[in-house]
Homo-oligomer: A and B are copies of this chain.
Amino acid sequence: MATETEQSSEQPWEAICTALERANREELEGVLERLGPAETARGISRLESEEQNALFQLLACEDAADVLESIPEAQAAEVLDDLSCERAAAIVDEMSADKRADILGELDQENAEAILTEMSSQDAAEVRRILAFPPDTAGGIMLPDFVAFSHRKSVAEVLDELRHSGEEFSDYEIQYAYVVDESGHLRGVLRLRDLLFARRGAAVTEVMLTEPVHVDARVELSELREMFEQHSFLGIPVTENEQLVGVVHRRQVDDAIERESGRTLLRLTGIQGGEELRSMPLHARAGRRLSWLSINVLLNLLAASVIAYYQDTLEQAIVLAVFLPIISDMSGCSGNQAVAVSMRELTLGLIKPSDLGHVLAKEVSVGLINGLALGGLLAVAALVWQQNPLLGLVVGGALGINTLVAVTLGGLLPLAMRRAGYDPALASGPILTTVTDVCGFFVLLRLATFVLPGLSA
């Protein structure tokens, strides 16, 4: 393992660029090997897109495939997009079967198809079969490669086949073999340890596990995750119309879930249309962030119109203007905490979208306590600053009421969004802040209007 201290002061992208300028493939391979996958990924993300292109032209296809597998998929897809279809197909051909589909799935359908037509028809068919399923289903994340034997074979025949195929199966893949009948239907699972202690003359049907657990290709990620939590399987066979079509290992499920949770973070801040990496073109990065920000300006104007409506009140007690942004910001923070707790409990399966009543009860109590505490704190601050008890009462009361609203709404929104079929990460934030702004501004200025003579004094 290369640690930080072992590296020279030269940055990874500098070493890569030097080798690229000399167009020296061997030197480049040496540099990448010395850097290791993590530093290579960091180095590549720092290259200009022409340099990235030169890099993947210069490398042997096999090495290029290795590198692409070790960098984030969105970045790998950008690289493939910039290469010719022939070159891209030659590299994709060298990738492992599961990575192929993951990376091609990041491309536009048209570009992916252009690369697929250049690939061997069998490999292309495998990838198309995976891409035909949504990416959060067993079919969408399965490995299309698996080791299957006819149910008519003996243990000795299976052992011979395994021995001869030798290096074809990596350590990782070979934990289970599957037994199928003539029509491709799954009959049983063979574990290596069963073969280890079996008579060579026995039929595989004698040593295999019968009625094996399997999933339909349409089963969703959350259910797969639950199955792996419940059992200690290394892999689960995937079937379509009872026929064995692939295998899902724990690793594919974990990878898919991690991919999801990384994107959730970005989506929560309104970065849309795929993930952002700083190696992507400027227009894509600015655009993805802007699309939601522009809507947010309009939502903000909506909330601000409440202030405009109460302009007369403000004019008579200008000191209220100081507290408007505080109410807005604090309510947003309190609400977002509740959103985060609900998102997490949804992910952990501890609440369902229908559990609105439970979440309501749990959040109202927190909202009341925190509303009292924060409202009290702000009231004291206002009192100390302006020596006006009425002002303290108005701003403290407004923050208290609005904290209750924000916490309750924040807890419920992710459930309601999920129920209505929207992405809770994307939709909860803007709705929450707009509603709490409108409500907070209204409560503060409405309360202030009641006691206006006392405030403007």
- B-binding residues in A (CB < 8 A): 1, 3, 36-38, 41-42, 45-46, 70, 72, 159, 162-163, 170-172, 174-175, 191-193, 195-197, 223, 226-227, 229-230, 232-234, 250-251, 254, 257-258, 261-262, 264-266, 268-271, 275-279, 282, 285-286, 289-290, 293-294, 296-297, 300-301, 303-305, 307-308, 311, 314-315, 318-319, 321-326, 328-330, 332-334, 336-337, 339-341, 343-345, 347-352, 358-359, 362, 365-366, 369-370, 373-374, 377-378, 381, 385, 433, 437, 441
Contacts and interface: CB of A to CB of B under 8 A. Distances in A.
Contact of A266 (B264, B307, B318, B344): B344
**Chain A contact residues, majority secondary structure:** helix
Contacts of A197: 159, 163
24 contacts: A1-B227, A36-B230, A41-B348, A45-B350, A72-B350, A192-B192, A195-B196, A251-B254, A258-B258, A261-B262, A265-B340, A266-B340, A266-B341, A269-B333, A269-B336, A269-B339, A278-B359, A296-B330, A297-B381, A301-B326, A301-B381, A304-B322, A307-B321, A311-B319
Contacts of A381: 297, 301
A282 B308 CA distance: 39
B297 A232 contact: no
A308 B433 CA distance: 24
A264 to B, nearest CB: 8
Specify which of A70, A226, A348, A437 lies most central, judged by the most chain B CB atoms within 10 Å of its CB.
A348
A182 to B, nearest CB: 27
A325 B290 CA distance: 19
Contacts of A1: 223, 226-227
Each complex incorporates copies of this chain amounting to 2
Contact of A170 (B175, B232, B258): B232
B341 A282 contact: no
B326 A304 contact: yes
Nearest to A42: B350
Contact of A324 (B251, B321, B348): B321
A277 B350 CA distance: 9
Contacts of A341: 266, 271, 276-278
Specify which of A278, A305, A362 lies most central, judged by the most chain B CB atoms within 10 Å of its CB.
A278
Contacts of A329: 296, 300, 328-329, 332, 433, 437
Given A250-B251, A433-B329, A334 B193 contact: no
Contacts of A162: 196
Contacts of A174: 193
A234 B336 contact: no
Contacts of A334: 289, 293
